[in-house]
Amino acid sequence: IGTGSRTHLFLLRAKQMTGMPVVTCMTPSTLLRDRFDLIFAPKHDGIAAGKNVLLTVGPPNCARVSREKKSRQGLILIGGVDSKSHYWDPEVLEGYVRQILTREPEIRWTLSSSPRTPVDTVRRFDILAGEHAHLQFFHFEDTSSGWIEEKYDECDKVWVTADSMSMIYEALSAGCRVGILPIRWRQKNNKFRRSEDYLRQESMVVSYSFWLSGREPWQKREPLNEAKRCAEEILKRWPPKS
């Protein structure tokens, strides 16, 4: 079992050497797909389900519900620059966060940057945290391993910028109520946009604009558990021998 495009050739080589079935958690190139015994492909990749393709709601992840969340704690996760997929506007993003702080002052918010967050955006949030007693800002490099999982466990509400799809699916898998902070995509039909649209259509996340207008309240849904579904599919196809 492997995940990530760099593992694909190694997996196929292992299959050739051992005759064992191989499973990947990332959509391979078209030329390689028939050579895998099972592919777990996120719906937003846009490929069809098939005998060796199981479509998942986002990438499987290890986040899970582990304890009761605190209704007065919230988390805001900020992505960053990717010149190929989207435009980055720190002023607009700061405005989103200010609105959240103003509208829900009863919640103690934790805000975190990521490795892609530009320095000028970080500087804005440092200043913002100094202006609001109910906001604490963490630089990603100052957080330890497992910090984000602890925050998922604690926080009932989580806002994530739309470019950070992996964190959106982690928060959903951890049983959080999730809202998406919009960004402007460079291409209208990219896989992240498709994923965002799917989550909104299924009412799995809160749209920032609808939340701001009062048209869309926070939703509480059953947590995602795509990792379990994938594991069950593997065991169904290749039951362990007693």
| Separation of alpha carbons 128 and 126, rounded Å | 5
pLDDT in tens, 33-54: 999 999 999 999 999 999 999 9
Q: Which helix (H) or strand (E) holds 72?
A: strand 70-77
pLDDT the model gives residue 188 = 84
Going by C-alpha positions, the residue among 199, 239, 230 that lies closest to residue 216 is 199
| Separation of alpha carbons 209 and 46, rounded Å | 26
**DSSP readout, 160-179?**
EETT-HHHHHHHHHTT-EEE
pLDDT for 88 beyond 80 = yes
The answer to whether 21 touches 238, Cβ cutoff 8 Å, is yes
pLDDT for 174 beyond 90 = yes
Average pLDDT along the chain: 95
pLDDT for 219 beyond 80 = no
pLDDT the model gives residue 15 = 97
pLDDT the model gives residue 76 = 99
Q: What is the mean pLDDT of residues 71-93?
A: 96
pLDDT the model gives residue 235 = 97
| Separation of alpha carbons 196 and 198, rounded Å | 5
pLDDT the model gives residue 218 = 79
The β-bridge partners of 76 are: 111, 159
Q: Which domains does the chain have, with CATH numbers?
A: 5-60+226-237 (no CATH), 70-213 (3.40.50.2000)
pLDDT grade, residue 215 (50/70/90)? confident
pTM of the model as a whole: 0.93
pLDDT the model gives residue 177 = 95
pLDDT in tens, 109-143: 999 999 999 999 999 999 999 999 999 999 999 99
Q: What is the mean pLDDT of residues 18-40?
A: 96
pLDDT in tens, 176-214: 999 999 999 999 888 889 999 999 999 999 999 999 998
What is the total residue count of the chain? 242
pLDDT for 242 beyond 80 = no
pLDDT for 71 beyond 90 = no
